[in-house]
Amino acid sequence: MGRRPKNYEEKLIAPERAAELIEEGWKRADLHVHTTCSFDVLPVKDLHPESLYEKALKLGMDYITFTDHDTLEAYEILGWDREKLVPGVEMSVHDPEFAGHSLHINVFEFDREEFLELREIAEIEHDLKSFIKYLNRHKLPFIYNHPFWFEFHHEPNPSAVPRLARLFPVLEYNMHELKQKNELTITLAEKFGKGIVATTDTHSGRIGKVCTLAKGDDFKEFFGNIKKGKSYIVPENLTRELLIDEMNTWIDLIFEKSQKSSDIKGYLTGIKSLDTMVRISRSTLLNCFPGLNRTTMSLLYMISNTGLPASFYLYSEKSFVKEIEKQIEIKKQK
């Protein structure tokens, strides 16, 4: 797909420039955040909706949203009328005929009835076009999340992504994706005239580490300016250092902060390395011998800090990016 377009370079700014814009009245938000209401987030206090809401307020976020997987539970806990709180959800739509794979779509500013109707389209009809028609008809803001990410148990279909991106007003620059993938997303946004947001997609409480800035006295105006390209992003990409830091955070959550939670016993993320650590931390032997538990945690920290797990993951992702680029180039030549 080529290098990042030059006229989109100015949209990517440093934190220092973002601070200047905020002083001038620009608003900021992290539009992809998970809480304990998501199946793949550890049930610990620091990641509870209330804790993350208070953290977002302290960070000075102008719009706060929680996009848990296919659930409104965070809003049932917090209430729907909190200061700066915007209803949000990450919905999975598996459309084998039109899309060929599952898409994750962030939707905002809906009510309970609209959510239930969208869930029916997603889970029963499996119809992406109907899903998007509903969003447009009800004038609900929505985002194509991590366009070049594919669920592990589904066959990747990268060649469909440019065609699918045309259907969305805004594409996501995801902190947990490689720079090469995010650059492909930027290219699509520029090519098709789409807005772009930078999000953390955090499952470990790192809300606001990257963000999107736009003007807007309410969320509708804020998102409208993002759609029009009148926005900036403070980005970050997946690196070896970030992966090591993230893995150490998960070790801390699993072995330290989750020890008081009985719910973790049945917790599974679907990510083998994390689930293995959860099973180890919950073993009878470690719970009976705190010293052994500490030793195991230190050993995992040591393995993580070697950078080997991070390097292996990055190598596999870089290989996959090359395949994505080949498929997209083939599609362009047809």
Each residue's pLDDT tens digit, 180-231:
999 999 999 999 999 999 999 999 999 999 999 999 999 999 999 999 999 9
User: By C-alpha distance, which of 245, 244, 159 is closest to 206?
Assistant: 245
pLDDT band for position 104 (50/70/90)?
Answer: very high
Which carries the bigger pLDDT value, residue 315 or residue 145? 145
Q: At what angle do helices 290-305 and 308-333 cross, to 10 degrees?
A: 50
Percent of the chain with pLDDT over 90: 68
Q: CA-CA distance, 89 to 109, in Å (whole number)? A: 9
**Residue 125: pLDDT above 90?**
yes
Q: How confident is the model at residue 43, as a pLDDT? A: 87
* The pLDDT of residue 273: 60
Distance (Å, whole) CA 199 – CA 211: 6
Over residues 298-321, mean pLDDT: 89
The predicted pLDDT at position 297 comes to: 81
Q: What is the mean pLDDT of residues 130-145?
A: 98
CA 213 to chain centre: 17
Whole-structure pTM value: 0.88
Residues 6+ apart with CB under 8 A from 153: none
Residue type, 314: L
**Which one has a higher pLDDT value, 182 or 254?**
182
Residue that the structure tokens 């969003």 belong to: 135
Is the CB of residue 300 less than 8 Å from the CB of residue 278? Answer: no
Question: Closest Cα to residue 68, out of 48, 96, 46, 88?
Answer: 88
Q: What is the pLDDT of residue 328?
A: 80
DSSP 19-37: HHHHHTT-EEE---B--TT
pLDDT attached to residue 4: 44
- Per-residue pLDDT at 268: 54
Bridge partners of 232, per DSSP, are 213
Q: How confident is the model at residue 42 (pLDDT cuts 50, 70, 90)?
A: confident
pLDDT score for 333? 41
pLDDT of residue 272: 59
Which pLDDT value is given to residue 334? 40
> What is d(CA 227, CA 179) in angstroms, rounded to the nearest whole number?
22
Q: What is the CA radius of gyration of the chain?
A: 20
Helices marked H in 101-239: 112-120, 128-137, 161-165, 179-192, 219-227
Residue in the structure block whose two tokens are 């929680």: 66
pLDDT in tens, 258-306: 654 455 555 555 555 655 666 666 555 556 656 667 788 888 889 889 9
* CA distances for 314 relative to 8, 244, 308, angstroms: 26, 11, 10
Residue ranges covered by each domain of the chain: 6-237, 241-309
Q: Helices (DSSP H) in 42-111: which residue ranges?
A: 49-59, 73-78
CA dihedral 169, 173, 176, 178 (to 10 degrees): 120
The CA distance from 153 to 183, in Å, is 25
Tell which CATH architecture fits domain 6-237.
Alpha-Beta Barrel (3.20)
Picking from 102, 43, 101, 104, the residue whose alpha carbon sits closest to that of residue 77 is 43
